[in-house]
Amino acid sequence: MAKKRNAGGRKPDLATFAGLAIALGGIIGGLILEGGEIHDIAQYTAALIVLGGTIGAVLVATPLAVVRGAVKKFVAVFFDRALSPEVAIEEIIGYATKARRNGIVSLEQDAEAVADPFLRKALILAVDGADIQDLRKMMELEISLAEQEGEAHAKVFEAAGGYAPTIGIIGAVLGLIQVMKNLQNIEEVGHGIAVAFVATVYGVGAANLFFLPAANKIKARIHQETLLRELMLEGVVGIVEGLNPKLIRSKLEAFVSEEAKAAGKKTGSGARKRAA
């Protein structure tokens, strides 16, 4: 039962999908209203220059291991963890109630079945009789390291957002070089200049519509995960201290904003029924 309650997953981040749709829709819609056509900005060579140059610059500036981690973290831009603070509180209260009734050793099987690795490790340490101060130091160190790692992943996208506009300018210059070869044909010159500047559009657009927003979204996810882990740690410490489950609940609810409490009220009610 514990494993089923703790089973987490990821759900689509509607804000990310809606934001991209609105941004692209606004830009393309404005282009069409101005008398332009989609094929005016559909230049695969410009995309190749901008994306290839940006990725190459990021690889030069960033250790490969960090880049790999950032690629894995990329999914967090579009999907969020299904486990909410309210659900985590209900799970911890369930463990606290059982430990108060039967002793903390009774949580041994439950601890092994917890899906979240951070909560599982904290509970196992608690069941094994780790000193409260040692437990807190170990888990706080893990929180700090995870936060630093996440920040490093976010900086990969920030770096891409910094390089992309400059690479776009390089693409525009390369296009203008080709234009200069055909100065005798004024129609070709005009068309060539228009195509050349598409690379700049791609570079600025990729930076400001995706790379930089993605970095900020990853940072927001890191902040959410840090708060959730701090909540879990305080809950486990409360269990070790033998605090009343009601007191533990009051302590943990301090981590949840009023808006989040209102949004998660229904979810939390369902979790209590399942835990019963």
Q: Residue 137: inside a domain, yes or no?
A: yes
Residue 251 exposure: Cα atoms within 13 Å on the Cβ side: 19
Q: Residue 147: inside a domain, yes or no?
A: yes
What is the tens place of the pLDDT at every residue in 161-218?
A: 999 999 999 988 888 887 777 767 666 676 677 777 888 999 999 999 999 999 999 9
Q: Residue 157: inside a domain, yes or no?
A: yes
Q: Answer whether residue 268 shows pLDDT above 70.
A: no
Overall number of domains in the chain: 1
Q: Do 196 and 176 touch, CB atoms closer than 8 A?
A: yes
Q: Residue 7: inside a domain, yes or no?
A: no
Structural tokens at position 76: 């967090």
Nearest by Cα to 235 from 122, 102, 114: 122
Judge residue 172's burial from the number of C-beta atoms within 10 Å of its C-beta, 0-12 exposed, 13-18 middle, 19 or more buried.
Answer: buried
What is the tens place of the pLDDT at every residue in 41-75?
A: 888 888 899 999 999 999 999 999 999 999 988 88
Which residue range(s) make up the domain with 121? 42-76+85-275
Whole-number pLDDT of residue 272: 44
> For the whole model, what pTM was predicted?
0.80
Structural Rg of the chain based on CA atoms:
26
Phi, psi torsion values for 128, nearest 5 degrees: -75, 0
Whole-number pLDDT of residue 273: 44
Judge residue 14's burial from the number of C-beta atoms within 10 Å of its C-beta, 0-12 exposed, 13-18 middle, 19 or more buried.
Answer: exposed
Q: Residue 33: inside a domain, yes or no?
A: no
CA angle 139, 145, 146 (to 5 degrees): 90
Q: How far is CA 10 from the centre of its chain?
A: 11
| Cα(258)–Cα(166) distance, integer angstroms | 43
